[in-house]
Structure 1
Amino acid sequence: MRAATALALHGAAGIAAAAAPEAPSGEAVALAPISITGHYDNAVGTSDAASAGVVRSELLKNRPALRPGEVLEFVPGVIVTQHSGDGKANQYFLRGFNLDHGTDFATFVDGLPVNMPTHAHGHGYTDLNWLIPELVARIRYRKGPYAAEDGDFSSAGSARIELFDALPRGIASVTLGQDRFARSLVANSAPVGGGELLYALEAAHNDGPWERPENFRRFNGVLRYSSGSADARWSLTAMGYSARWNSTDQIPQRAVDAGLVGRYGAVDPSDGGRTERASLSFENLQRSATGEFRLQTYAIRSRLDLFSNFTYFLERPEGDQFEQAERRTTLGLTTSRSWNARLGGVDMVHTLGLQVRHDRLDPVGLYTSVARQRTGITQESEAEQTSVGIHGESALQWTPWLRSVAGLRADRYHFDVASSIVENSGKRSAGIGSPKLSLILGPWARTEVFVNYGQGFHSNDARGATARRMAKSDEAVEPATPLVRSKGAELGVRSEIVPGLQASLALWQLRLGSELLFVGDAGETEASRPSRRRGVELGLHYRATEWLLLDADLAASRARFTGDEPEGNHIPGSIDKVASLGVTVLDRGPWSGQFQLRYLGPRPLVEDASKRSKATTLAYLRVGYRFNPKVRLDVDVFNLFDRKASDIDYCYESRLAGEAAGVPDRHSHPVEPRRVRVTLNAAF
Structure 2
Amino acid sequence: MKPALLLAVGWTLAQSCLAGEETVPTVQVSGHYQNAVGSSDAASQGSITGELIANRPALRTGELLEFVPGMIVTQHSGDGKANQYFLRGFNLDHGTDFATYVDGMPVNMRTHAHGQGYSDLNFVIPELVQRIDYKKGPYFAEEGDFASAGAAHLRLADRLPQGVVSLSAGQNGYWRTVLADTVQAGAGRLLYGVEANRNDGPWDLPERVRRYSAMARYSAGTGDQGYNVTAMAYHNRWNATDQIPQRAVDAGLIGRYGNLDNTDGGSSARYSLSSAWRRRSDTGLTELDAYLLHSRLDLFSNFTYALERPEQGDQFSQSERRNTAGLNAAHSWQSGLAGLAMRNKLGLQVRFDRLAPVRLYQTEARLRSATVREDTVRESSAALYGENLTQWTPWLRSVAGVRYDAYRFQVDSSVAGNSGKARDHIASPKLSLVFGPWDKTEYFVNYGKGFHSNDARGATQTRLADGGASAPVTPLVPTRGRELGLRTELAPGLQSSLAVWRLDIDSELVFVGDAGDTEPSRASRRRGIEWNNHYIATPWLLFDLDLATSHARYSQADAVGNDIPGALNRVLSFGATVRDAGRWSGSFNLRYFGPRPLLEDGSVRSASTTLAYARAAYRLRPDTRVTLDVFNLFDRRASDIDYYYRSRLPGEAADGADDRHFHPVEPRTVRLTLARSF
Place the TM-score, normalised by the shorter chain, in its bin: over 0.9
State how 1:203-222 maps to structure 2 within 5 Å.
203-222=196-215
Q: Report the 3-state secondary structure (helix = DSSP H, G, I; strand = E; otherwise coil) of the residue aligned with 1:128.
A: coil
- Displacement of 1:519 in angstroms is 6.3
Q: Report the 3-state secondary structure (helix = DSSP H, G, I; strand = E; otherwise coil) of the residue aligned with 2:354.
A: strand
- Partners in 2 of 1:184 and 1:230 — Cα distance? 29
Amino acid at match of 2:452: H
Judge conservation of contact 1:460–1:518 (CA < 8 Å) in 2.
no
Judge conservation of contact 2:513–2:645 (CA < 8 Å) in 1.
no
- Displacement of 1:516 in angstroms is 4.3
Equivalent of residue 400 in structure 1, options 374, 394, 411:
394
- Displacement of 1:114 in angstroms is 0.1
> What's the counterpart of residue 545 of structure 2?
552
Cα deviation code 1:320-362 (max 9, x no counterpart) = 0000000000000000001111233311111000000000000
Judge conservation of contact 2:36–2:495 (CA < 8 Å) in 1.
yes
State how 1:199-348 maps to structure 2 within 5 Å.
199-317=192-310, 318-348=312-342
- Partners in 2 of 1:527 and 1:135 — Cα distance? 37
- Displacement of 1:629 in angstroms is 1.5
Amino acid at match of 1:590: R
Asked if 1:622 corresponds to 2:627, the answer is no
- Displacement of 1:524 in angstroms is 8.2
Please identify, of 525-534 and 587-596, the stretch whose mean Cα deviation from structure 2 is larger.
525-534
- Partners in 1 of 2:649 and 2:31 — Cα distance? 51
- Displacement of 1:563 in angstroms is 2.8
Asked if 1:470 corresponds to 2:450, the answer is no
Asked if 1:531 corresponds to 2:524, the answer is yes
Equivalent of residue 638 in structure 2, options 641, 645, 660:
645
- Partners in 1 of 2:162 and 2:516 — Cα distance? 48
Q: Report the 3-state secondary structure (helix = DSSP H, G, I; strand = E; otherwise coil) of the residue aligned with 1:441.
A: strand
> What's the counterpart of residue 609 of structure 1?
602
Judge conservation of contact 2:524–2:554 (CA < 8 Å) in 1.
yes
Amino acid at match of 1:122: G
Equivalent of residue 81 in structure 1, options 74, 77, 83:
74
- Displacement of 1:290 in angstroms is 1.6
Please identify, of 509-518 and 90-99, the stretch whose mean Cα deviation from structure 2 is larger.
509-518
Distance 1:336 1:401, change over 3 A: same
Equivalent of residue 139 in structure 2, options 123, 136, 146:
146
> What's the counterpart of residue 95 of structure 1?
88
Cα deviation code 1:646-678 (max 9, x no counterpart) = 000000000001111310000000000000000
- Partners in 2 of 1:524 and 1:640 — Cα distance? 33
Cα deviation code 1:350-403 (max 9, x no counterpart) = 100000000000000110000011111111100010010110000011110000
- Partners in 2 of 1:160 and 1:516 — Cα distance? 23
> What's the counterpart of residue 351 of structure 2?
357
- Displacement of 1:518 in angstroms is 8.5
Amino acid at match of 2:634: F
Cα deviation code 1:220-251 (max 9, x no counterpart) = 00000001134310000000000000000000
Asked if 1:492 corresponds to 2:475, the answer is no
Cα deviation code 1:491-530 (max 9, x no counterpart) = 0000000010000000000000011469697498735110
- Displacement of 1:436 in angstroms is 0.0
- Partners in 2 of 1:518 and 1:549 — Cα distance? 38
Judge conservation of contact 2:31–2:536 (CA < 8 Å) in 1.
no
Query: Number of matched residues?
Result: 649
State how 1:50-89 maps to structure 2 within 5 Å.
50-89=43-82
Distance 1:158 1:113, change over 3 A: same
State how 1:409-448 maps to structure 2 within 5 Å.
409-448=403-442
Q: Report the 3-state secondary structure (helix = DSSP H, G, I; strand = E; otherwise coil) of the residue aligned with 1:122.
A: coil
Distance 1:639 1:578, change over 3 A: same
Judge conservation of contact 2:226–2:278 (CA < 8 Å) in 1.
yes
Asked if 1:681 corresponds to 2:669, the answer is no
Judge conservation of contact 2:138–2:450 (CA < 8 Å) in 1.
yes
Judge conservation of contact 2:114–2:517 (CA < 8 Å) in 1.
no
> What's the counterpart of residue 587 of structure 2?
594
Amino acid at match of 1:42: N
> What's the counterpart of residue 509 of structure 1?
502
State how 1:368-379 maps to structure 2 within 5 Å.
368-379=362-373
Amino acid at match of 1:199: Y
Q: Report the 3-state secondary structure (helix = DSSP H, G, I; strand = E; otherwise coil) of the residue aligned with 1:637.
A: strand
Equivalent of residue 114 in structure 2, options 113, 117, 121:
121
- Partners in 2 of 1:216 and 1:447 — Cα distance? 48
Identity of aligned residues (%): 61
Using the size of structure 2 for normalisation, the TM-score is 0.95
Equivalent of residue 663 in structure 1, options 648, 657, 664:
657
- Partners in 2 of 1:46 and 1:40 — Cα distance? 11
Cα deviation code 1:613-658 (max 9, x no counterpart) = 0000000000000112110111000000000000000000000011
- Partners in 2 of 1:563 and 1:669 — Cα distance? 31
Distance 1:615 1:227, change over 3 A: same
- Partners in 2 of 1:328 and 1:266 — Cα distance? 30
- Partners in 2 of 1:596 and 1:494 — Cα distance? 23
Cα deviation code 1:396-441 (max 9, x no counterpart) = 1111000000000000000000000021110000000000000000
> What's the counterpart of residue 21 of structure 2?
none
Using the size of structure 1 for normalisation, the TM-score is 0.94
Distance 1:420 1:519, change over 3 A: farther
> What's the counterpart of residue 30 of structure 1?
none
Judge conservation of contact 1:37–1:58 (CA < 8 Å) in 2.
no
Judge conservation of contact 1:403–1:440 (CA < 8 Å) in 2.
yes
Q: Report the 3-state secondary structure (helix = DSSP H, G, I; strand = E; otherwise coil) of the residue aligned with 2:538.
A: coil
Gaps of 5+ in 2: 1-27
- Partners in 2 of 1:133 and 1:401 — Cα distance? 39
Q: Report the 3-state secondary structure (helix = DSSP H, G, I; strand = E; otherwise coil) of the residue aligned with 2:65.
A: helix
- Displacement of 1:565 in angstroms is 1.3
- Partners in 2 of 1:650 and 1:371 — Cα distance? 24
- Displacement of 1:254 in angstroms is 0.4
RMSD: 1.2
Q: Report the 3-state secondary structure (helix = DSSP H, G, I; strand = E; otherwise coil) of the residue aligned with 2:658.
A: strand
Judge conservation of contact 1:246–1:272 (CA < 8 Å) in 2.
yes
- Partners in 2 of 1:579 and 1:474 — Cα distance? 47
- Displacement of 1:474 in angstroms is 2.0
- Partners in 2 of 1:577 and 1:606 — Cα distance? 18
- Displacement of 1:287 in angstroms is 1.5
State how 1:378-389 maps to structure 2 within 5 Å.
378-389=372-383
Judge conservation of contact 2:263–2:366 (CA < 8 Å) in 1.
yes
Equivalent of residue 135 in structure 1, options 102, 118, 128:
128
- Partners in 2 of 1:83 and 1:414 — Cα distance? 33
Equivalent of residue 160 in structure 1, options 150, 153, 157:
153
> What's the counterpart of residue 10 of structure 1?
none
Amino acid at match of 1:462: A
- Displacement of 1:533 in angstroms is 0.1
- Displacement of 1:288 in angstroms is 2.6
Judge conservation of contact 1:464–1:525 (CA < 8 Å) in 2.
no
- Partners in 2 of 1:652 and 1:459 — Cα distance? 26
- Partners in 2 of 1:519 and 1:125 — Cα distance? 15
Structure 1 segments (4+ residues) deviating >2 Å: 35-38, 342-345, 516-527
Judge conservation of contact 2:303–2:513 (CA < 8 Å) in 1.
no
